[in-house]
Amino acid sequence: MSCTPGMWGCEGGDPYYAWKYTQNSGLVTGTNYTWNSGCKPYPFPPHGTTQYTAPSCVSSCTSSAWNVAYTQDKKYTKTTGYIQNNVAAIQNEIMANGSVVAAFDVYDDFMYYSSGQTSDVYVGGHAVRMIEFIGLAEFLG
């Protein structure tokens, strides 16, 4: 995703632009660092403390063992969307189309927060994949 406009390589970016990129430009296959499979396997080891530079944007597979052409390997999302602060709409989206991505602001007390007001010291953002919600059984009836 380092080639996506509006992104900051290994420093993150906006999930909306990432999904728009997959819709318009597509993504090729790739697995985690350990498996080293797909057109562009993930190049960085897990749980490292080393600061890496985002890979350059190249329109070819980085794995010499991959036998599918770059253009044939690309996958595209059909649609993208944006739902803001509407729990029912998010629940309906999960039920209709599967998981969604949520993004939120992170403050310096994030790792220790338990309840009430958060700190006023903004330290960045974070994105997560929501795969289901509490009350799913009741929602389904």
Interval 11-65: pLDDT, tens? 677 888 888 888 999 999 998 888 888 999 888 888 777 877 777 888 999 998 9
Cβ neighbours of residue 82 closer than 8 Å, sequence gap 6 or more: 16
Task: Using CB atoms within 10 Å of the CB of residue 29, give its burial: 0 to 12 exposed, 13 to 18 middle, 19+ buried.
Answer: middle
Which structural domain range is residue 90 located in?
A: 83-141
Q: 72 and 87: one domain?
A: no
Q: 47 and 104: one domain?
A: no
Q: Do the Cβ atoms of 71 and 102 come closer than 8 Å?
A: no
Q: What is the pLDDT of residue 137?
A: 63
- Among 52, 77, 102, give the residue marking a domain's end: 77
Q: 41 and 104: one domain?
A: no
Q: Taking Cα atoms as reference points, which of 73, 42, 45 lies closest to residue 59?
A: 73
Q: 72 and 53: one domain?
A: yes
Q: What is the pTM assigned to this prediction? A: 0.69
Structural domain count, the chain: 2
Q: 25 and 49: one domain?
A: yes
Lowest mean pLDDT among 1-15, 46-60, 113-127: 1-15
